[in-house]
Amino acid sequence: MATRDAACHCGQLRLEAAGDPFAVSICNCLACQRRTGSAFGMQAAFKADQVQVVGCFSDFARISNEADGKAHVFHFCPDCGSQVFYTEPTEPDLIVVSVGSFAAPSFPPPTESGYDSRRHHWVGLPDSIQRYAPEPWDSVRPLYDAGRYAEAADTGRELIEAR
């Protein structure tokens, strides 16, 4: 079984993934755009038993403002700041690795694209990629219901500006 090596910019935090990911995807949500500093995030999902992590990392937990309110725990190198992988507490058998951390142009291409309505107009995708575009206002309702009115208003403004 082939292994794939991923690393942060300075090489202190490394991962070894055995075999192929079970999914490779693009995420166009605004949180991934901010997290990556790019037009989208691109990640590869592996089963936890496929991945070995070596090195120290720091965590940043973000609670999704989507209806599911899912937690995403981003793991990054404390030395260079590169975000290399993330996990979700509700899915302990999952490790999601930033594709750029593999630094391998031959890495398998994505098969799906999420939040396609937020994709930058100049980003083209092959027709073979499945696109997911949740209802844009789905992310506002849970904030409002939780009494987080200012955050709901900010999210609503972002949605309007993105259109």
Same domain for 124 and 146, yes or no, is: no
On whether the pTM is more than 0.95, the answer is no
Token readout for 79 is: 């030395």
Same domain for 66 and 103, yes or no, is: yes
- What is the pLDDT at residue 124? 92
Same domain for 42 and 89, yes or no, is: yes
How confident is the model over 117-152, as pLDDT tens digits?
888 989 999 889 988 766 666 677 678 778 888 888
What average pLDDT is seen over the chain? 90
| Percent of the chain whose predicted confidence (pLDDT) is above 70 | 93
CATH number at residue 76: 3.90.1590.10
Same domain for 123 and 61, yes or no, is: yes
Same domain for 107 and 35, yes or no, is: yes
The range of the structural domain enclosing residue 162 comes to 138-163
Same domain for 84 and 160, yes or no, is: no
Same domain for 116 and 158, yes or no, is: no
DSSP state string for 1-40: --EEEEE-SSSSSEEEEES--SEEEEE--HHHHHHHTSS-
DSSP 109: P
d(CA 35, CA 26): 13
Same domain for 33 and 111, yes or no, is: yes
Q: How far is CA 154 from the centre of its chain?
A: 21
- What is the pLDDT at residue 67? 62
Q: Supply angle C-alpha 25, 80, 43, rounded to 5.
A: 5
DSSP 106: T
Same domain for 76 and 126, yes or no, is: yes
Question: Which residues fall within 8 angstroms of residue 133, CB to CB, at 6 or more apart?
Answer: 115, 116, 117
| Domains in the chain, number | 2
d(CA 129, CA 29): 16
Q: Which residues on neighbouring strands pair with residue 44, listed in sequence order?
A: 24, 97
DSSP element (H, E) containing 65: none
Same domain for 37 and 71, yes or no, is: yes
Q: How far is CA 130 from the centre of its chain?
A: 17
Same domain for 57 and 111, yes or no, is: yes
Same domain for 146 and 78, yes or no, is: no
